[in-house]
Chain A
C-alpha cells in the first residue's frame, strides 16, 4: 500500500493506524502533530484512523526557530 508521508511516497506492508505508524517511525506521540489528507487530527483519534491507499500525511514537530 502506498501513502505519501511528508511529500515522499512510502510503501507500507500492513494497514496501520496513525499511532502505530508513529511507533514504527520511532516518533513519540507527544512530539508530533499530524495532518491527514489536509485535516489536523486530534491526538484522541490517532488510534481510530487506519491508513489506506493514497492517503497523504504530514507529520510535523517543533524545531528551533526565531
Chain B
C-alpha cells in the first residue's frame, strides 16, 4: 500500500482539493466522491448575516482532513492569527500558510510565509506553506518545521500548468519532506506529470471548480494523480540524450592493457 505519511496522518489519496470558486457548495459531495480526495482546503471568513447560506462544511465528508488556509493574510502576523482562529474552530491542526501582498499575480511572499511557518510549527500546527519554488526558502521552511512545502506550478487560478517545473524538480530532489504542487495545474495531464516527477501530492482547485462538469473533471484528476504516482514508483526508463555515437573516450585503455 502506497501511503503518504504527512502532518501526523496517513492518507492514500494524493490529490488535495481546494473548495473555492465552485458555482455551488452542493457540488462538493459529488466532487469529493468522484475524485477520492481525503484532504480539502477551506478558508475562514466573517459570517454574512445578510445572506444566510447553508454551512459549507455540511457538504464535506466527515472523513476528510480539513486544511484551513490563511488566505487574506498580507503579513506573517495576520497568517498566524488566522491559523489560531481556524484551530479554535476545532478542525484539527493542519494549516496552509498563504501570505499574499501582490494583487496582480497573487504570488506568495516567501519571507513572510517563512516567519509564519516558524511560529506556527512551534505551536504544534502541521504547517503547509504555499510558496514560490525557491530552494533556499524551501530549506528554511523545512528547518522551521514545515510538514511539507507547497510550491506553485504557475500563478493561482491561471491554469497554465507546470511553468516552474525545473525549480520544482530541484525541490523534489533536494528537500526531504513532501513536495505538494499547488496552484496553476489546469489539466489532469499536468497533475500526472507532477506526480511522475516525484511530487508527493498535488492540490487542485480552479481546474475542477470551473470545469463544465466538475464531478467528471474531479474523477479525471483523481485517475491522473494515481497514474502519475504509479509511473513514478515504476521508475521510468532513461531518456537517451544523444543517439549518435561519438568518438570513443575509453579506447586508450585497450592500448595500455595490451
> Contact mask B6-36 → A, CB, 8 Å, 1/0?
0000000000001111100100100000000
The answer for the CA separation of A66 and B203 in the assembled complex, in Å, is 8
B69 at interface, CB cutoff 8 A: yes
3 A-B pairs with least C-beta separation: A65-B43, A66-B18, A66-B205
Q: Are A66 and B21 in contact (CB under 8 A)?
A: yes
Q: Is the CB of B42 within 8 A of A63?
A: yes
Of B83-91, B113-121, B221-229, the one with at least 4 CB within 8 A of chain A: B83-91
A61 to B19, CA, bound (A): 14
Binary CB contact string for chain A from 27 to 59 against chain B (1 if under 8 A, 0 otherwise)? 110011101000010110000000000000011
Query: Could you list 16 A-B pairs, sorted by A, with CB under 8 Å?
Result: A27-B47, A31-B57, A40-B85, A60-B46, A61-B44, A61-B55, A62-B44, A63-B43, A63-B56, A64-B43, A65-B19, A65-B20, A65-B42, A65-B68, A65-B69, A66-B206
Chain A residues with CB under 8 A of B57: 31, 62
Given A33-B89, A66-B19, A66-B205, decide whether A60 and B44 contact each other with a Cβ distance below 8 A: yes
Q: Are B47 and A60 in contact (CB under 8 A)?
A: yes
B252 at the A interface (CB under 8 A): no
Residues of B within 8 A of A35 (CB): 85
Chain A's interface size range is 20 to 34
B side interface size, CB within 8 A: 35
- State whether the Cβ of A15 lies closer than 8 Å to any Cβ in chain B: no
Q: List A residues at the B interface (Cβ < 8 Å).
A: 5-7, 25-28, 31-33, 35, 40, 42-43, 58-66
Tell me the nearest residue of chain B to A10, going by C-beta: B49
Question: A31: nearest residue on chain B (CB-CB)?
Answer: B55
Could you tell me if A26 and B52 are in contact, using CB atoms closer than 8 angstroms?
Answer: yes
**Binary flags per residue of B69-112, CB closer than 8 Å to A gives 1, else 0:** 10100000000000011101111000000000000000000000
Supply 14 further A-B pairs (C-beta < 8 A) apart from A7-B46, A62-B86, A64-B21.
Answer: A6-B47, A6-B49, A28-B55, A31-B55, A31-B57, A33-B85, A33-B89, A40-B84, A62-B43, A62-B57, A64-B28, A64-B42, A66-B71, A66-B156
Whether B49 lies near A25 (C-beta < 8 A) is yes
Output the least CB separation between A62 and chain B (Å): 4
- Establish whether residues B52 and A62, one from each chain, have CB atoms under 8 Å apart when the complex forms: no
B66 lies within 8 A of chain A by Cβ: yes
